[in-house]
Structure 1
Amino acid sequence: MGKKKTAFVCSECGAEFARWQGQCSECKAWNTVTEFRVPSVKSPPRSSAMAGYAGMVDAKVQTLDEVNLESLPRFSTGFKEFDRVLGGGVVPGSAILIGGSPGAGKSTVLLQTMCLLAESMNTLYVTGEESLQQVAMRAHRLGLPTNKLKTLAETNVETICQLALQEKPSIMVIDSIQVMHMSDVQSAPGSVSQVRESAAYLTRFAKQNQVAIIMVGHVTKDGSLAGPKVLEHCIDCSILLEGSSDSRFRTLRGNKNRFGAVNELGVFAMTGQGLKEVSNPSAIFLNRGEEQTPGSLVMVIWEGTRPLLVEVQALVDYSQLANPRRVTVGLEQNRLAMLLAVLHRHGGLQVSDQDVFVNVVGGVKVSETSADLALITALVSSFKNFSLDRQLVVFGEVGLGGEIRPVPSGQERLREAAKHGFKRAIVPNANKPKELIEGMEVIGVNSLSEALDALF
């Protein structure tokens, strides 16, 4: 018996070390280096190794225009919102990782998808966290067709792939990657080494056999995918299903996609019959009250390849504290602090003694800078207790010098706003369309003072 080799791997970046250390020297993360045993691999004889090289003479070098793309057509999942996030559908041989908090609906949406796909192709649903009876009970509760979907309760990756070779499915679901294990890896399921090796084995199986594999991944308490960072590097597409427990809406967001755009957004509604796709998400985020209140405004953000209308609300109130509060929900707090400084310097509005609360309605998380002008407008509206026009829409980036910078896809944003009945828009002057949009007045501004004069 030879001595078993051990290695120490960082669960954040995947860096390997000869011994344990408290801080990873690559990504500077603390307490992320864990130990795992390296499986012993016998080196083949020299003659067999040379024979392996001799068997590779059939491979040839090709230019990209010689590669046949028609042999890998995408196929639809049955959900247009799911296809949008994937870049137009599922690519055969791709490895997809879907994560989300417990109860978000990962298993539900995948079971719905697999039951729909089973009507037209060979599918396999592998569950390692639930029994087959539990999966069947959920399918019957959702009213899904169950006569063609093949299921398997197994956690050994080698056994799953052997059975998949016999069944020859076109798409396979692994629920979840954290409970899978390999026989030659001497560690518990869910550890860094097991997740790493299991995901790599499944990805190789998907590429070699042209089987699309969807793996379910758990998330940590801060919302990131659990397991080693190399898990996200080896797969082709990483998507995250988000949604709070008190909201009936779920958002499917693409974080990585080798076959489409990243940051693409799909919206679903949780119902008694499972997840239902929302074809017009702007309508649900614009469910406003009858009376227009100060500090409320509609902005147009860009998610992936489409515009989205959401409402931003701001509340500015006198503070009794020595350090007034700055609270944001759906927006970056540091961005708010910067915009308040710009508002003071170039807008002449002092809010250092005011509590500032900002909320994006519907649980949407806004990360792009096109919300700057709308946020400042909502803050001024709340501070002055002045209600804005219900048919007004605002977007634009605000620079530190008080200038209003253009944002991408301005024409598409305005058309989306006009489609929902908005009559007036305040936008950067560079985004002002050359041709008039029917039924909408578009005002272009170059500075923050111009914008505030046009609004107030």
Structure 2
Amino acid sequence: MPAKSPSRPVRPAYACAECGWQTAKWAGRCGECQAWGTVAELGSPVVRTTAPAHVREPARPIAEVDVEAARAAPTGVEEFDRVLGGGLVPGAVVLMAGEPGVGKSTLLLDAASRVASSGRTVLYVTAEESAAQVRLRAERIGALRPRLLLTAETDLATVLGHVEHSAPDLLVVDSVQTVASGAVEGAAGGVTQVREVAGALIAAAKRRGMSTLLVGHVTKDGSIAGPRTLEHLVDVVCQFEGERHSRLRLLRAVKNRYGPTDEVGCFDLSEDGIAGLPDPSMLFVSATPEPVPGTCITVTLEGRRPLLAELQALVAGEPAPGSARRVTSGLEASRIAMVLAVLQRRLGLKIADRDTYVATVGGVKLTEPSVDLAVALAVASASVDEPLPAGLVAVGEVGLAGEVRSVSGVPRRLAEAARLGFTSAVVPAGSVPTGKAPAGIRVHEAASLADAVRHARLVR
């Protein structure tokens, strides 16, 4: 008998069903997400050799490839199209992630309705709600269209059967974590199931040239639930953000194979549905007829879009008994504490023993360092109880030495301020080239915080 060839030992692999962490040995607790009882055996890897396949179509020079099939088709939702890079590309797969209740389903149902109204067929698969619930939402937001098809399914094979029967131009699956395949083990939402479902839907989208929108869940820290490979498989990954107490919603593309990733779409979510906001700046500026002490306007950048925001500060008139309070809303508390320390040390403002409150208008969150100068001017105005000049905006980062540092996109910010009627601006020194200031706005450059305060008084 011929001697048996020695077999190469294969080490079993184990993976966590929650986060996908892998290990060579079984463990009762996941070493990544610290969940108990989620580590299971994946099976032994199999080494295969693949023979060369017959090539049906030879490779062509890249200049001869037809690009018409990859042209983006608008959805009809301008803010959505802005983030996508012009619309949905045939065969593209878009993953929409966001916290529960932020408005993902409402936005995609509105987009599906507009696509259906243009004569294209849309298949909406709901795996979380019943068909009647989705129908009620569609009636509320005016999304009832004859070419908008609706089905409530959680089985992957049935969903693919609907795709073959309906031949849609656009497929919406809400959500990818609640659809399961009977071909693999595990509950819906697990790593194996999400990978299998996403892979099958992506393969169908590429084969049929069908645009696909997938809704994805997020974890407690805001990251997309499921395996990390899900984000690599899809073409576009969008994050839908918003505070529960605010109607404003922001859509960002964190990955986009067909367009930029620094665009931001703004939406207004109400009982009647969701609507795009092409000019959301005035949501964050209060309509006061006269200047009020402790208020200052700044211009922040959300992606490439400049947005005006109002900062309000209040400094108590009497020293606080004990430790003074520092309360912030919509701003980073640590950064506000730093600006207050610079004001006290470099400008001599006596605010160490006084309660100080700093907040944004409209519930917007500002994390950009460019708001430092506006915070400093608002607090300085509140401490002396004198308003800043009307029509003034301030942009710049404040350093610990009291210097005003340059920030990106100052000309773009000033152009937005000038368009909305502001007449003067305090910006970092050297941030605006000579003769490049927008028409109608007077620019004052400040090298230090003292210069900024002096300019704010001179432009009155």
Q: Above 0.5 in TM-score?
A: yes
CA distance change for structure 1 residues 289 and 367 in 2, over 3 Å: closer, same or farther?
A: same
* Alignment match, 2:6: none
**Is this contact kept in 1: 2:102–2:240, CA < 8 A?**
yes
Q: Please list the CA deviations of residues 97-155 of structure 1 after superposition, one character each: whole Å capped at 9, or x if unmatched.
A: 22233332221121111111112212111111122222222222323232111122211
- Measure how far apart 1:8 and its partner are: 2.1
CA distance change for structure 1 residues 58 and 144 in 2, over 3 Å: closer, same or farther?
A: closer
Q: Secondary structure at the match of 2:38?
A: strand
* Alignment match, 1:437: 438
* Alignment match, 1:84: 82
Gaps of 5+ in 1: none
Q: Secondary structure at the match of 1:437?
A: coil
CA distance change for structure 1 residues 349 and 198 in 2, over 3 Å: closer, same or farther?
A: farther
Q: Secondary structure at the match of 1:54?
A: coil
Following superposition of structure 1 onto structure 2, how do residues 46-445 of structure 1 map, counting pairs within 5 Å? 49-50=50-51, 53-56=52-55, 58=57, 60=59, 67-119=65-117, 120-317=119-316, 320=320, 323-349=323-349, 351-435=351-435, 436-445=437-446
**Is this contact kept in 2: 1:95–1:214, CA < 8 A?**
yes
Report the AA paired with residue 79 of structure 2: E
**Is this contact kept in 2: 1:24–1:32, CA < 8 A?**
no
Q: Secondary structure at the match of 1:83?
A: helix
**Is this contact kept in 1: 2:18–2:190, CA < 8 A?**
no
Q: Please list the CA deviations of residues 225-256 of structure 1 after superposition, one character each: whole Å capped at 9, or x if unmatched.
A: 33344333332222232333333332223333
CA distance change for structure 1 residues 195 and 392 in 2, over 3 Å: closer, same or farther?
A: same
Of the three residues 13, 16, 34, the one matched with 1:9 is 16
CA distance change for structure 1 residues 38 and 66 in 2, over 3 Å: closer, same or farther?
A: farther
* Cα distance between partner residues in 2 of 1:41 and 1:151: 40
Following superposition of structure 1 onto structure 2, how do residues 40-51 of structure 1 map, counting pairs within 5 Å? 49-50=50-51
Q: Secondary structure at the match of 2:260?
A: coil
* Cα distance between partner residues in 2 of 1:263 and 1:121: 29
- Measure how far apart 1:88 and its partner are: 2.1
* Cα distance between partner residues in 2 of 1:254 and 1:219: 15
* Cα distance between partner residues in 1 of 2:352 and 2:183: 62
* Cα distance between partner residues in 2 of 1:80 and 1:33: 46
* Cα distance between partner residues in 2 of 1:287 and 1:211: 45
Q: Please list the CA deviations of residues 288-313 of structure 1 after superposition, one character each: whole Å capped at 9, or x if unmatched.
A: 33343322111111112221111122
* Cα distance between partner residues in 1 of 2:86 and 2:343: 42
- Measure how far apart 1:201 and its partner are: 3.0
Q: Secondary structure at the match of 2:144?
A: coil
- Measure how far apart 1:175 and its partner are: 0.4
* Cα distance between partner residues in 1 of 2:447 and 2:184: 62
CA distance change for structure 1 residues 169 and 96 in 2, over 3 Å: closer, same or farther?
A: same
Q: Please list the CA deviations of residues 142-193 of structure 1 after superposition, one character each: whole Å capped at 9, or x if unmatched.
A: 2323211112221122332243234332221110112111212211112233
* Cα distance between partner residues in 2 of 1:351 and 1:10: 53
CA distance change for structure 1 residues 67 and 350 in 2, over 3 Å: closer, same or farther?
A: farther
Report the AA paired with residue 8 of structure 1: A
* Alignment match, 2:9: none
Tell me the matched-pair count. 442
* Cα distance between partner residues in 2 of 1:319 and 1:11: 53
Q: Which deviates further from its counterpart, 314-323 or 67-76?
A: 314-323
* Cα distance between partner residues in 2 of 1:349 and 1:417: 29
CA distance change for structure 1 residues 211 and 367 in 2, over 3 Å: closer, same or farther?
A: farther
CA distance change for structure 1 residues 22 and 326 in 2, over 3 Å: closer, same or farther?
A: farther
* Cα distance between partner residues in 1 of 2:132 and 2:39: 36
CA distance change for structure 1 residues 146 and 71 in 2, over 3 Å: closer, same or farther?
A: closer
**Is this contact kept in 2: 1:298–1:374, CA < 8 A?**
yes
Q: Which deviates further from its counterpart, 269-278 or 334-343?
A: 334-343
Report the AA paired with residue 293 of structure 1: V
**Is this contact kept in 1: 2:344–2:352, CA < 8 A?**
no
**Is this contact kept in 2: 1:80–1:277, CA < 8 A?**
yes
RMSD: 2.9
Q: Please list the CA deviations of residues 259-317 of structure 1 after superposition, one character each: whole Å capped at 9, or x if unmatched.
A: 33334322222334311212211122224333433221111111122211111222333
* Cα distance between partner residues in 1 of 2:131 and 2:168: 18
Normalised TM-score (structure 1): 0.86
Q: Which deviates further from its counterpart, 371-380 or 262-271?
A: 262-271
Structure number with greater Rg is 2
CA distance change for structure 1 residues 335 and 196 in 2, over 3 Å: closer, same or farther?
A: farther
Normalised TM-score (structure 2): 0.86
- Measure how far apart 1:391 and its partner are: 1.0
Report the AA paired with residue 375 of structure 1: V
Q: Secondary structure at the match of 1:259?
A: coil
* Cα distance between partner residues in 2 of 1:200 and 1:323: 58
CA distance change for structure 1 residues 351 and 159 in 2, over 3 Å: closer, same or farther?
A: same
**Is this contact kept in 2: 1:298–1:310, CA < 8 A?**
yes
**Is this contact kept in 2: 1:269–1:278, CA < 8 A?**
yes
Q: Which deviates further from its counterpart, 251-260 or 366-375?
A: 251-260
* Alignment match, 1:452: 453
* Cα distance between partner residues in 2 of 1:186 and 1:416: 54
- The share of aligned pairs that are identical, in percent, is 40
CA distance change for structure 1 residues 199 and 425 in 2, over 3 Å: closer, same or farther?
A: same
Report the AA paired with residue 76 of structure 1: P
